[in-house]
Structure 1
Amino acid sequence: MGDNKLIALGKITSVFGIKGWVKVYSYTEPMNQILDYPEWILQLNGRRLVVRLNAGKVHGKGLIAHIKDCDDRDEALKYQGAEIYVVAEQLPELEDGDFYWHELEGLKVVTLNGTNLGVVDHMMSAGTANDVLVVRGNDSAIDHEERLIPYLMDEVVKNVDLTNGEILVDWQPDY
């Protein structure tokens, strides 16, 4: 694994049944996309473990998965609470103009008139509406305020420049 960047895709929340299945909370969109990765890197209590999936499926409103060689409830309990990661290079290529959330985190956010609003701390999903950039001010920004900026390409977000680490927004600091 070395220096490869790990991307969190979800979490194992609990066990399911008696045959080693686990319940999975997915951060992916759509949620069952997490099952497309046959190998997960689990992180639990400061330890990392690579596991392979045997099977996975939608169950009710959530997901369940079966990890290879995990064939009973006691074994599955060992994975409860583990964060699920994959190496960033495993993520599929996106079309031009589309970005993964982890690519936007840490980018500087600048208004059309050049005002530095801070950096993207993280992203939030607003449910059915658009996603939201959570921007935190810092010493080089106009202030130390936290701003929630709708991630609306072309309308609010005018340009994302990964090379220069900057997002250009049509947004006023006092919104």
Structure 2
Amino acid sequence: MSTGLGKRVRLGRIVGLYGVQGQVKLESWTEPRIQIFQYQPWLLTAPGVEKEIGGIRGRAQGKGLVATLPGIEDRDKATALIGCEITVSRDVLPPPAPGEFYWTDLEGLEVVTTEHVVLGRVNHLFATGANDVMVVKDGERERLIPFVQGPYVHSIDFDGQRIVVDWDPEF
């Protein structure tokens, strides 16, 4: 059942227990959040834990999600999974629509200014509510650049592995 060592995409994490039969509560980063169950198998990872599992069933429960994981039938086994990140192989996700992409596709791309100054590579992105932010690293230096297409992000070239931004290299 292994999906190999291809690129992994973070979809959520296990945040708690539900009941006494090994069910777990999830935080999902998919849209809509219930969609997390469509992408399997999951790789659950945390310090000391790495478990690939498929056949997961789940449902909305109040404001959260509850999952039943095959092979996890009691509260003790489920407790060991709290805090695990849920990732899937990039190839189980549907292709993005034209002009769209997954954050993971941006990770590792070189970031340069409109004046061709290399700022580093995209380490990861995060959401702030107002806009998404690219974390660009160059050695020890880290820049937080708003991921706003137009004013800051001028172009994304996946073939050339480069993002061009309008950003002050000193900032």
TM-score by length of 1: 0.83
Conservation of the 8 A alpha-carbon contact between 1:9 and 1:84:
yes
How many angstroms does 1:110 deviate by? 0.9
Q: What residue number does 1:26 align with?
A: 28
Deviations 1:7-40 (A, max 9, x none): 2222212211112210112233433321222421
Distance 1:93 1:157 in 2: 22
Q: What residue number does 2:163 align with?
A: 167
Q: What residue number does 1:97 align with?
A: 99
**Partner SS state of residue 119, structure 1:** strand
Q: What residue number does 1:50 align with?
A: 52
Conservation of the 8 A alpha-carbon contact between 1:16 and 1:64:
yes
Moved more, 68-77 or 155-164: 68-77
How many angstroms does 1:87 deviate by? 1.0
Instruction: List structure 1 runs of 4+ shifted beyond 6 angstroms.
Output: none
Deviations 1:112-152 (A, max 9, x none): 1111111112111012x2111111234xxxxx642221111
Q: What residue number does 1:83 align with?
A: 85
Q: What residue number does 1:141 align with?
A: none
Q: How many residue pairs end up in the alignment?
A: 169
Q: What residue number does 2:154 align with?
A: 158
Distance 2:55 2:90 in 1: 18
Conservation of the 8 A alpha-carbon contact between 2:114 and 2:166:
yes
How many angstroms does 1:165 deviate by? 1.2
Distance 2:61 2:170 in 1: 45
Query: Which stretches in structure 2 are left out of the alignment for 5+ residues?
Result: none
Q: Are residue 148 (structure 1) and residue 134 (structure 2) matched?
A: no
Query: Which stretches in structure 1 are left out of the alignment for 5+ residues?
Result: 139-143
Moved more, 18-27 or 35-44: 35-44
Identity, in percent, stands at 41
Q: What residue number does 2:132 align with?
A: 131
Conservation of the 8 A alpha-carbon contact between 2:37 and 2:56:
no
Distance 1:12 1:103 in 2: 24
Conservation of the 8 A alpha-carbon contact between 1:53 and 1:65:
no
Conservation of the 8 A alpha-carbon contact between 2:40 and 2:92:
no
Distance 1:66 1:172 in 2: 49
Partner AA of 1:134 in structure 2: V
